[in-house]
Amino acid sequence: MTIIRLVKKAQKGNDKAFLKLFQQYQEDIYRMAYVYVKNKDDALDVVQEVAFQAFKKIITLEKPEYFKTWLMKITMNCAMNIIKKNKKVVQLKPEHEKFIGTVSEDIPLSISLQDLIEALEADEKSIVLLRFYHYHTLKEISEILEIPLGTAKSVLYRALTKLRKGFKEADICEK
């Protein structure tokens, strides 16, 4: 069954059609969420929230062919909400961290692409992820983020310049 037909059925209240649709994209949603929130539990919370929001608001989707794009936008919004919520969490004092152990035994020896992406502004990160991880065109990105095409281009090129600079500073890439 095509995506468009499934979306139309889901909009008419068919729960099974929505479930089938959502299951097709849940891994993409999880990956996108994980890039933003950086941990498994929060990423799973985002997936759950996206499922709830999408189910509740699928009737508002005007163009069924953009279902995945619509889901990715909901994912970004939910992930940003979790990040904002987590900023309000009080961190442990360094002297108390020894009681909880280390989060990861693998400590990277050099800066990674993930670290460089994390250093980007939220708008830059969204555009880079949509462009290079989800393979959207700049036109699609401008529609997803509801920004002018020129703004999407300039933000992308600004982000790429920052990433290149970060690689050069870390001496990771060829000069």
Same domain, 117 and 83: no
Predicted confidence at residue 88, as pLDDT, reads 64
Q: Nearest CA to 72 among 134, 20, 17?
A: 134
- In whole angstroms, give the CA distance from residue 87 to residue 24: 32
> For the stretch 40-52, what's the b/e string if a residue is b when 16 or more beta carbons lie within 10 angstroms of its beta carbon?
eebbebbbebbbe
**How would residue 169 be classed by pLDDT, with cut points 50, 70 and 90?**
confident
Q: From residue 112, how far is each of 59, 161, 170 by CA, in Å?
A: 41, 16, 9
Same domain, 158 and 118: yes
* Residue 99 within a domain: no
pLDDT in tens, 4-15: 999 999 999 999
Residue 94 above 60 pLDDT? Answer: no
Neighbours of 168 (CB within 10 A): 12
Q: Is the same domain home to 72 and 9?
A: yes
Q: Give me the CATH number covering residue 127.
A: 1.10.10.10
- pLDDT of 38 higher than 60: yes
CATH number at residue 81: 1.10.1740.10
Q: Among residues 58, 88, 118, which one ends one of the domains?
A: 88
If one counts the domains in the chain, the total is 2
Average pLDDT over the chain, rounded to an integer: 83
Share of the chain above pLDDT 70, in %: 82
Torsion of CA 90, 94, 95, 96, to 10 degrees: 40
Is 101 among the domain residues? no
Task: Give me the domain span that covers residue 141.
Answer: 110-175
The pLDDT-based confidence of 118 (bands split at 50, 70, 90) is confident
Alpha helices in the chain (DSSP H): 3-11, 15-37, 40-57, 67-87, 113-118, 122-132, 138-145, 149-170
